[in-house]
Amino acid sequence: MNKYIIDDDFLYDHMKSAENIILENLPKEYELSHKFSKRFERRMNKLIRQERRSPFIKSFISHGKRVAIIFLIFISIAFAITMSVEAYRVRFFEVVIEVWEEFTLIIFKNKENIDDGKLIPVNPTYIPDNFKIIEHEINSYEQFIYWQNDEGIEIMFEQAKITANSIITDTEGIDIEELLIGEQKIIYFTNKNINQIYWNDSNYIYAIISEYDKNELLKMVESIINNKKK
Amino acid sequence: MKNESNFIINDVEEAILKLPINYSAVLRLKYSQGYTNEEISKILKISEGNVCQRISRGKKKLAEILAKEGEKSYE
């Protein structure tokens, strides 16, 4: 039987000293013999340079980017309208992916109400070993499923109806891969050890996000794509 | 028990060090650094609900580890 009562007071009493032990056990700077890659050094130097900029320059750069994005969205919309006139009666929506130095903007636009009905869930038929559902939220527009394994690693799956929407995700210094699963194009990247996969069909945008093995996540994606075809 | 830096570690601290990183990170931010659940959700880019869940599961896991350690010391 446990002699401790694990409540907030207990944790406030002990967490600080446990954290001090963790910090004390970190190797001292002179003990570190690790040689950082040139890419890492470049990114760190870039970060340091960014931090040294004056608030005025920071604000100028930030606003400059916003103006550039708005301009690009405007151009994209103008292009989409032209396309939709030419492709008369063909359902049209467009996914624009803008890769910027510090983030990626994924924009979904549709000119029609493509689907007024409720969301029809398409779930993966392949789940990696030892993962169990811990949370499932579903409504008319989107569903989220979270799985977790014994080690506490989580996988998040999202299926959402495409509306006039956008996703902004932090991809600074990250290479984005475009992969093909069958005929389905998917976007894959890793940031801060978190794998992120996005793709879409004519009605929905899908996302799988997890720190778990990339190949296992791709198998989940494949099972969702195949399940959708049925 | 002593760790590598010759700190004397008690049972509770030892159990905290054994927690999986996703629980210990949230618990350290809350109970050592004093962040609110909302601030932790922004730092770790997870939902506030997920923060609460991790705190609750972290406490449960900590209780399990302490119970196991307690059993061992009686053996």
pLDDT given at position A92: 45
B16: nearest CB among A18, A135, A152: A18
A220 has a pLDDT exceeding 60: yes
Is B61 within the bounds of a domain?
yes
If one compares A167 and A188, the residue with the highest pLDDT of the two is: A188
Q: Are A3 and B70 within 8 A, CB to CB?
A: yes
Hey, where are the domains in chain A?
114-162+174-229
* Contact state of B28 with A11 under an 8 Å Cβ cutoff: no
Taking contacts as CB-CB distances below 8 angstroms, the residues of chain B near A1 are 67, 70
* Structural domain total, chain B: 1
Question: Cβ–Cβ contacts within 10 Å for residue A86, how many?
Answer: 8
Mutate to test the interface with A, among B4, B12, B68 (most CBs of A within 10 A): B12
Å between B40 CA and nearest CA of chain A:
16
Side-chain-side CA neighbours of residue A1 (13 Å): 1
* pLDDT of residue B42 exceeding 70: yes
CATH class of domain segment(s) A114-162+174-229:
alpha beta
Q: What are the tens digits of pLDDT across the range A192-207? A: 778 888 888 878 888 8
Contact call for A18 and B70, based on CB within 8 A: no
Least confident of A123-127, A179-183, B47-51: A179-183
Residue of B nearest to A22 (CA): B17
Instruction: Give chain B positions within 8 Å (CB) of A15.
Output: 16, 27-28, 30-32
Rounded CA separation B57/A221 (Å): 28
Query: Which residues are within 8 A (CB) of B38 and not within 5 positions of it... i.e. 6 or more apart?
Result: B48
Taking alpha carbons only, the member of B32, B17, B59 closest to residue B9 is B17
Q: What is the pTM of this model?
A: 0.42
If interface means Cβ-Cβ distance under 8 Å, which residues of chain A face chain B?
Answer: 1-4, 6-8, 10-12, 14-19, 21-22, 24-25, 134-135, 151-154
Looking at residue B30, what is its pLDDT? 94
- Inform me whether the pLDDT recorded for B35 exceeds 90: yes
**H runs (alpha helix) in chain A:** 8-25, 38-52, 55-86, 214-229
Measured between alpha carbons, how far is A171 from A168 in angstroms, rounded to an integer?
Answer: 9
Residues 6+ apart with CB under 8 A from A106: A95, A96, A97, A98, A166, A167, A168, A169, A187, A198
pLDDT reading at B27 higher than 80: yes
pLDDT (tens digit per residue) in A127-161: 999 999 988 888 887 888 989 988 888 898 988 87
Element (H, E) at A191: strand A184-191
The arithmetic mean of pLDDT across residues A77-94, rounded, is: 53
Closest CA to A224 of A202, A200, A190: A200
Q: What is the pLDDT of residues A35-55, one digit of tens each?
A: 778 778 888 887 887 777 667
Percent of chain B surpassing pLDDT 70: 84
Range of the structural domain that residue B44 is part of: 11-74
Domain harbouring B50, CATH code: 1.10.10.10
